[in-house]
Every structure is written in structure tokens, then in C-alpha cells.
Amino acid sequence: MSVKKSGPIHRDKAGVIDPRASDPGKDTHAKSAFVGEGPRSRSERGLMRRLWTACMGGTILTALFAPTLAQTKSSVPPAEKLFTSVEMVGYALVLGILSAAMLSAGWLIRQRGRLEAEGAEMRSALSDANQRISRYQALIADKNRRIVIWDGQNGKPEFLGQLPAETGAPQTDSEFLAFGRWLKPASASELEKAIEALRHSAESFDVIAETHRGEVIEVQGRLSGGRAFARFVALNNLRAELAELKIERNRLRNSIATFESLLDAIEQPVWRRDAEGHLTWVNHAYSEAVEAGSPDQAVREGREILNTLTREKIKAAATPESPFHDVVSTAVRGKRTFFDVVDIREPSGSCGMAVDVSGEEALREELARTLKSHAETLEHLEAPVAIFDRDRRLQFFNQPFQKLWDLEPLFLESRPDHGELLDRLRSARKLPEQLSWKAWKENTLSVYRSLETQTDLWHLPNGQTLRIIASAHPQGGATWVFENVTAQFELESRYNTLLRVRGETIDHLSEGVAVFGPDGRIELSNPAFRALWGITEADSKQGTHIKAIAAACAPSYDGADGWKAFAKMITSFEDERPSSQGTLELYSRLVLDYAVTPLPNAQTMLTFVNKTDSVLAERALKEKNEALRKADELKNDFVQHVSYELRSPLTNIIGFTDLLKTPAIGPLNERQSEYIDHISTSSSVLLTIVNDILDLATVDAGIMRLDYADIDLTDLLDDVSMQMTDRLQESNVSLEIAAAAHLGHIVADQQRLKQILIKILTNAVNFAPEGSAIELKCWREDGDFVFTVHDNGCGMSKDMLATVFNRFSTNGKSGKRSGAGLGLSIVESFVNLHNGTVSIDSEPGRGTTVSCRIPSAIVEPQAIAAAE
């Protein structure tokens, strides 16, 4: 901050600093300038006076000596007289000059001493002035005060002091006068106008300004000594509070005046009452409604717009916490009018407003009737519809909407918010999965901020596809229509897929295909069609007429039953176009089966199949079929022969063998008994083989039927173990059965199931070492009967496992007995008939494990009872 050190600084009556008025040096110079002299000019003028006095003294001396000169002139010769008078005059002048010089030297000596005294006095005064300037600068430099000085209208402003940084005032001089940057707009505008009036019209001002930080500053503007001063003072404590109250008072006065002007301009009646209920102010609309000449007349005469009952109702119902708000009926200008009245009560009184809603009431009734009609219409729609109001709350929904989302009617009738409804549907996993739920939800609800209809597709987790049509209402709210387009999308997808599949299929068919329109022009064809007829793709491009194609195909076949007949059928105008089939033998010895098939839209499809190779294949198939037929007859004959020719002798042999064992025939010696046992055993084995062959033949012929019954698995296992007793004792092998105490029942063929178990156990006994044990484990899994048979025999290699279920596949070298190799084959056939599975796990040296799973058949109880 720069301050001109021109003398002490004083304040004028208004408190504004006036450096000019408090500078004695400036006052002295100004006075000297006015008179036209100074200290130095007075000394020079004194010297001039001394010289003038000396000259006058010489003159006076000359005058004094003149008589003497005259007397001398008479007694001296003329020449001498003349010389004597001239000398006397010179002597007089010299003497006068010397006298003046002496006098001037003495005066100069006195004047120098006096000037030195005045200089010392002025230096002392300057020192005192500098001290006062320092004190005033320290006072001005208070951080709560800043002064701006303008010298003239166009002078550069000078700044003194600083405002606290807490006020938000800039600390630099260049930014301080930009009031709009750190003062509130109203304060900045008022202060700029006041400073402008001060500098141009010399109008003083006192302004209270507010900064953007909410601080209060007092600004005083004064004019002194031709300079404009603006003092900015940061207020605090009581002065700041007082200034804030003053600002608030002015603001409230302006607000009240503004609101009264606004209320006076509106068309709705507005009034204010005192604590006793008397009118204190009304607007023009109120005075017009009560037919008063002016608002003052309405207040003075106490004209009421509401009847006494309504006023008492308002007085009893209105409280400071709960204003009165209701639609009341009253008479205005002789007409019954409905007013929407709002009355607010305060301790000092109340104020109210009445809005004429007569037209709105009529519209509301009409709207209610319209909405009811629309609701009845929407209820009969199959499309789900939901209407939300301007607050995004559910206003209406129809039954299809409730069924679509499977929501409780009580929840929907509670008018939930749309966002709440979406959140609930999302938690129930009924809405499409989204990567950003918040963004998707915000985008979905954006229809309430737009007047354009929005459409979207929702692919629901349950596989449905919905087209969402959201139409916003101009008055707020929106209507949501949900159209189930799942079937449509599926049809479109199927149609598009069908087109692609049709194209790919036709292009990759070995049969030639060509489709013609009703005008006889080809619409599509495949490569096989062109290859069969020996034409190029250009010859059969889309739009080519059938006559051109017939000409291109003429080298291959030009008969009357060929393309000429095709062209006639394709371009015929008959209402019913019959299909046609036939065979063509081309000149190239190709045999083609053709078919003319009418299509929708008056189209016709031609198909050509190359039958040249198929004829040969058909002949070969016929020959093979004949051979198979004869083989099947031989097999059936063999089965019948074995059934009737072998079983009867075997039965006789077994019968007579058993008869010979009886004591009634007579005693047998030891060798005879041994032979009889061998005959019986061999007969039984042979009968088993015959029965197995018959069973396999029956299975292969497809004539075997299972005899389903309800089987007790525990009894079944007991029966099997009893039948295996002799075989186990003969081979010196034990049987260990691991099964639950109660396996329950299963529906299956008891004889075949027993046969499966006996075949597997017999196979295990045949390969089990003597003294070892066979393990039979049985359990139930989800209604299925599962069992495994394990033996500790030699096991089987991978090659043997690959052929173990083949018929007549035997491994007699490792077993105790060699059979026909039909046991496991029969097991597999019977398990498959029960829709079960069988598997073998075996390795050389580790034994063999056979696993079977027999599911329980689903048979009606009546059928089981009938079978029993």
C-alpha cells in the first residue's frame, strides 16, 4: 500500500480521511500561490528596496551639495568649474553605491540567520507530520477496514487497509472493485449504483452488503476535498447482528410487498385475518368476488366470501401444524360455486386462498365416469395393463396383469411405487437378468420424464418374451401394456430357421429341386437339379422362364412327357392343380423319378430323384431279404424240431433215470448207481441247453412276453440259495449273501429274474476255486433291485470281456465245467427285457464281478391280479 507523505492526516466531520485538509505544508504553498510570493521572493524584494534607497540617498546627497557646487562654479575658471562639478557628481554616486552595498550586506547577514531558524522550524514540523502519518497509517491498516479513494471522476483508485479473508473479500486491489465476484448479486448491484452516484452526483450513502460467505460488511460513501471516499468495514458481534437484522427486515419488507403484489394480481381470492378472525387484508379478486368496490372497502365492511358455518369449521379444524384444506360450496355473484380452500393458522392470525374448482369438479366427475368405463374395458382385455399416476404409484391394474406377475391382490391394491414393484419382481426372479440393475431400472422409469411412447422387449427367466409399451401421460403418470409375444417370436424364429434350413437342405439334397412361380419363372433350384439335367447355374438363375429351362434341358431329354408336360402343369389356370409323379429315362441312361407338387401361393415344385443306383440296390435288397426270410424259416423249423423232437426223448430219459433210482425197481450196485447219476446229470445239462436255445430263439423272434408279478425279494433269494445248494456242495464253494433284512417287493417276471440269478451264480461257481466263497450283495436304489456276484476265480482278459455276452462263447479251459456258452447271453437278454443293465468287471488273477440293475416295472394292480 502506497501513501503520499505530504503532511499529517485528519478526518472531516463525516469521519472520512482528508489528507489535503490536514497538510500544513500544502496549505502554505496554496496560500503562497494565491498571493503570488514566498519567502525567497520577499528577500529579493528587500534587497531591491535597499538598492533603491541607496540610489535615492545618492541623489539626495547630490542635491545637498548642489549649492556648494554653484558657489564654487562662480569662483573657479570655467574649465575648472566644469571638471569640478562632474567629479563631484561621480563622487556622490560612488558614495551612494558604497552606502547601499554596506546596507545590503548587513541586511543579508540578518536574513540568513532568520532563514536558518525558519528551516529548523519546518524540519521539526515535517518530523511531527511524519509521525502523525505513521500513526494514521497504522490506524487505517486495521484488518477490519478498507478505504478506496477516487481523485476525480476518471482518477485511478487508491486503496488503504484490508478486510479479513474470512469475509471472502479479495486481497488484491485489482479484484476488490469486482463486487459481483465476492458480494451477493443484490448487494453488488446496490453498491455499484451507490458508488456511481457518489462519484458523479456527490451523493453520500450508507449500505449494508452481504458476501457470498454470508458475512456482513458496512460501506460508507463520502465526498471530501474533491475526492470520493468509500469505507468498507467488516462488522462483528452486535453491529453485525444489527446489520443482519436490518438486511433481513428489508428483505422481509420487500418479500411481503412482492407477495402482496403477486397475490393482488392473481384471479383467486386471498385473505388475511387477525387472531380474532377479522379481515385485515384481501386482494382484488376477493373484493370482486364479494362485490366490493375495492379491497379496502371489503376489509372495512367485513364482507365474507365464506358462510358462517364454513368459517367456524375452518376455525375449529385449522391448526399451525395442520392447515385446513377442503372443497367447500359457497355463493358468488348469485351462483353456487365450489372453492378449493386452503387456510393456514398462525398465532398472530390466519391467511387463506380459495381456488374456483367448479369446472374441475364437473371435469372430475366426467373423468371418473370415463375412467370407470376405461377400467371396465381394460378388465376385458387379455393383455396385462397397469396405470401409474404422476407419483409413480399403481393406480389401476387388470386381472391379466395380476396373473402375469403372480402378485398378491392386497399388495397391488396398496398402490405400490413403480420402483418398489420392480424391486419385488426382481427379488422373485421374474424380471430379465441385468448387468447393472440400477441403470436398467433408471432407464425403465425414465418414461415418466418423457412424453414419447417407449417400447422395449423383456426376455423373462421363465422363457416368455414381453413387448412393453409405456405411454406417458401429459399430466403425469404412464400406462404400461404388456404384450406376450413369446409365440410370435417363436414363430418368427421358427420361420427364419425354417427358411435357412430349407435353403441349406435343398442345396445339400441329392435330389434335384426346382420351384416355379405362377408365371412359369423359376424361383429357386439346387445344385443337384442342375447336375442331373446337365445345365449351368446361369441357365437356371432366378427369373428364368420354364421354356428357356426346357430348351436348356432338351439335350438330356426332349420327350412329350418331359418339360413340355411340366410347363403345361405349372402355367395352367385350373383352380385345382393335381400333383403328378412318374419316371423318366434320360438319354444318358439316367433313371429319374419326378414329382410335380403344387405349393401355396400358386407355386409349383419339381423334384427329381436319381433312381439308377437305387434300382440295383433294390434288387440286391430283395435278394437278401429273400435269403433272410428263408433263414428265418429254417431257424423257426429248427426251434420247433428241437422243441418237439429233443425235449420229449430227454424227458423220457430223465423220467426213466429217476425211476431206476427208486427202490421199487430193485437194488442197484454201486457202479450202476454211479452210471445212473451221470445219466441224470447229463440229461439235466442237455435239457438246460435245449431250454436256453428255446429261450434265445423266443427272444430273437420277439414273441417272448414277461409274466409280471409282485415279487418278495427276500423269498426270491431264499429260493435261489436253495436251488444252488447241490451245485455249491458239488464244487466245494460257499455262498455268502449280503442283503438287508427286508428288501421289499419288486414288480418283475419271477421266473426270469430267478433264472438270471441262477445263471450268474452258476457261472461264478464254475470258475471259483475250491474252498472259496462267492459273494452275493443285494440292495435297493430308488425302487430298482441291484445285485452283484463276485468270485475269486482266474478272471478274464479284455479280449474275453469283449465277447463274454456272445452266444456259444465258452472258456472251458479255466472252468470246472464246459457249457454251451449261452448263460451270460441269456442273462443279458432277460435283463434287457426288464429294461435293466448288466456289466462285468474282471481282471486276470483278481476274480470277476457281475453287476445287474433290474428296475421295477410300472404295471396296473388289476393286471397283476389278473396274471396271478
Question: Mean pLDDT throughout 359-383?
Answer: 76
pLDDT at 33 over 50: no
Rounded Cα distance, 677 and 662, in Å = 12
pLDDT at 238 over 60: no
pLDDT above 70 coverage of the chain, percent: 82
- Of the candidates 107, 25, 93, 23, the one whose C-alpha atom is nearest the C-alpha of residue 63 is 93
The letter for the amino acid at 619 is R
Q: Taking the C-alpha atoms of 656, 658, 664 and 667 in order, what is their torsion angle to the nearest 10 degrees? A: 100
pLDDT for the residue numbered 48: 57
The letter for the amino acid at 785 is F
Residue indicated by cell numbers 404295471: 859
- Of the candidates 613, 611, 680, the one whose C-alpha atom is nearest the C-alpha of residue 650 is 680
pLDDT band at 779 (very low <50, low <70, confident <90, very high): very high
What is the separation of C-alpha 64 from the centre of its chain, rounded to a whole number of angstroms?
130
How many other CB atoms sit within 10 Å of the CB of residue 343? 23
Helix H or strand E encompassing 303: none
The pLDDT tens digits of the residues spanning 590-625 come to: 888 899 988 888 889 999 988 887 777 877 888 888
Question: Mean pLDDT throughout 48-66?
Answer: 55
Laid out side by side, the sheet with 848-854 consists of 734-738, 773-781, 784-791, 848-854, 837-842
Half-sphere exposure of 37 (CA within 13 A, CB side): 8
The pLDDT tens digits of the residues spanning 787-827 come to: 999 998 888 888 787 777 776 665 544 555 554 456 687 88
The pLDDT tens digits of the residues spanning 295-325 come to: 888 888 888 888 888 888 888 887 777 888 8
Residue indicated by cell numbers 378472525: 277
Among the listed ranges 73-77, 92-96, 489-493, 814-818, which one has the minimum average pLDDT value?
73-77
pLDDT for the residue numbered 168: 83
Q: Is 406 helix (H, G, I), strand (E, B) or coil?
A: coil
Half-sphere exposure of 367 (CA within 13 A, CB side): 6
**DSSP labels, 230-293:** EEEEE--HHHHHHHHHHHHHHHHHHHHHHHHHHHHHSSS-EEEEETTS-EEEE-HHHHHHTT-S
pLDDT for the residue numbered 76: 46
Q: Cβ distance 540 to 514 under 8 Å?
A: yes
Q: Is 763 helix (H, G, I), strand (E, B) or coil?
A: helix
More confident residue, 467 or 10: 467
Rounded Cα distance, 465 and 487, in Å = 8
Rounded Cα distance, 140 and 17, in Å = 9
Q: Cβ distance 738 to 775 under 8 Å?
A: yes
Q: CA 578 → CA 567, 572, 601, 602, 835, distances in Å? A: 14, 11, 15, 12, 49
- Of the candidates 682, 695, 679, 694, the one whose C-alpha atom is nearest the C-alpha of residue 645 is 694
pLDDT, mean over the chain: 79
